[in-house]
Amino acid sequence: MTTVALKPATMAQALTRAMRDALAADPSVHVMGEDVGTLGGVFRITDGLAKEFGDDRCTDTPLAEAGILGTAVGMAMYGLRPVVEMQFDAFAYPAFEQLVSHVSRMRNRTRGAMPLPITIRVPYGGGIGGVEHHSDSSEAYYMATPGLHVVTPATVADAYGLLRAAIASDDPVVFLEPKRLYWSKDAWNPEEPEVVEPLGRAVVRRPGRSTTLITYGPSVPVCLEAAEAARAEGWDLEVVDLRSLVPFDDETVTASVRRTGRAVVVHEATGFGGPGGEIAARVSERCFHYLEAPVLRVAGFDIPYPPPMLERHHLPGVDRILDAVGRLQWEAGS
């Protein structure tokens, strides 16, 4: 336990610090992407890295996402650990073939001879008033691609710890950064940053007894807020922050739902074919005899991400979550 006083820090600062520490600790770590050097990234997450480590270690690339990820593959083949920034969620799509056909499969293809320790940072999700193509939640694509880790922090400390763990991982990690939490603050001591346990562990953010909210990334604070609001209804909600979508922490999730008997999966991504389908399906499978009511999902609608002025209608908010929780209680009573 540290005795240093905790100062509030933003998730953005924690991410920057994680890359800085990784660059300092391991000469094979290289940061690359569009505008990550001189500018420090459009979200300033790589701010100062080029200055401190030089543009060979933090590199402005040409504007071509497949090229960025494809060259990162080659760099990883030669023993480097590239940390790639995709400028926005939707701008990772041009790199999809490299991701699916190579990044995710190279270890398997070569029977383990050629692992690719690449971290692919993707600012994702909505709620920041972004115009079209700047607010996608694309995690379903990554979850459906074996060979990738898919990780997303919801707190400042996790942002640091999970990014360090991602960079240290010998497997490729898609590291999804919830854009709208970039400026969220937590008490966190950047002088003694906490390194979290290995990737793949969910955490109970708030213990509760009546229903489990299963969520991750940008929806974690929303669920915590909903849990607070639910007290007025007499509901004691448990909030599980998955942190890692792949690998999936069945143990933590199953234990929680077996305890509460009810579950709602909450995420911003489109409902149909989205991450919640997998989560709800495996919870239903593993907790069938414990469930008092069906596992419900509160997700983005099955529509392309809406324009800024309408996004509030699309995003799962406290009310929609409480509605779902309410429907579960009714089911139980029926």
Partner 1 sequence: MTVMEQRGAYQPTPPPAWQPRTDPAPLLPDAQPYRVLGTEAAAKADPELLRRLYAQLVRGRRYNAQATALTKQGRLAVYPSSTGQEACEVAAALVLEERDWLFPSYRDTLAAVARGVDPVEALTLLRGDWHTGYDPYERRVAPLSTPLATQLPHAVGLAHAARLKGDDVVALAMVGDGGTSEGDFHEAMNFAAVWHAPVVFLVQNNGFAISVPLAKQTAAPSLAHKAVGYGMPGRLVDGNDAVAVHEVLGEAVRHARAGGGPTLVEALTYRIDAHTNADDATRYRGEDEVEAWRDHDPILLMERELTERGLLDEDAVRAAQEDAEALAADLRTRMNQDPVLDPMDLFAHVYAQPTTQLLEQQAQLRAELDAEAAGPEGAGR
Ligand X SMILES: Cc1ncc(C[n+]2csc(CCOP(=O)(O)OP(=O)(O)O)c2C)c(N)n1
Q: Which residues does the annotation mark as catalytic?
A: 134
16 binds a second copy (CB under 8 A): no
Query: Which bin fits 273, alpha (ψ -120 to 50), beta or left (φ > 0)?
Result: left
3-state helix, strand, coil in the chain (%, to 5): 40, 20, 40
DSSP notation for 88-104? SGGGGGGGHHIIIIIIT
- The one-letter code for the residue type at 19 is M
Task: Out of 56, 288, 289, 333, point to the residue binding partner 1 (CB under 8 A).
Answer: 56
**In the bound complex, what is the minimum distance in angstroms from residue 254's beta carbon to a second copy?**
12
Please, which residue, 87 or 152, has the CB nearer to ligand X?
87
Residues 123-182 that bind partner 1 (CB under 8 A): 129-134, 146-147, 149, 169-171
Of 241, 215, 184, 240, residue with least CA distance to 317: 215
Q: Quick check: helix, strand or coil at residue 322? A: helix
Site string for a second copy, 265-284 (x = CB under 8 A): ----xx-xxxxxxxxxxx-x
Contact 278, 246 (CB under 8 A): no
* List 6, 42, 100, 204, residue binding a second copy (CB under 8 A): 100
Bridge partners of residue 58, in order along the sequence: 31
> Of 12-20, 157-165, 284-292, 306-314, which part binds partner 1 (CB under 8 A)?
306-314
Q: Applying CB under 8 A, what is the total number of residues that bind a second copy?
A: 50
Which residue from 24, 195, 247, 285 is in contact with partner 1, where contact means CB under 8 A?
247
Report phi then psi at 65, rounded to 5.
Answer: -70, -40
Task: With contacts defined by CB under 8 A, name the span among 12-20, 39-47, 181-189, 285-293 that binds partner 1.
Answer: 39-47
Q: Residue 195 interacts with partner 1 (CB under 8 A)?
A: no
Is residue 313 a contact residue for a second copy (CB under 8 A)? Answer: no
**Segment contacting ligand X by CB under 6 A, of 86-94, 141-149, 207-215, 216-224:** 86-94
Q: What distance in Å separates the CA atoms of residue 155 and residue 186, rounded to the nearest whole number?
A: 7
Judged by CB under 8 A, does residue 162 bind a second copy? no
Q: Is 37 in the site for a second copy (CB under 8 A)?
A: no
- Tally of residues, the chain: 334
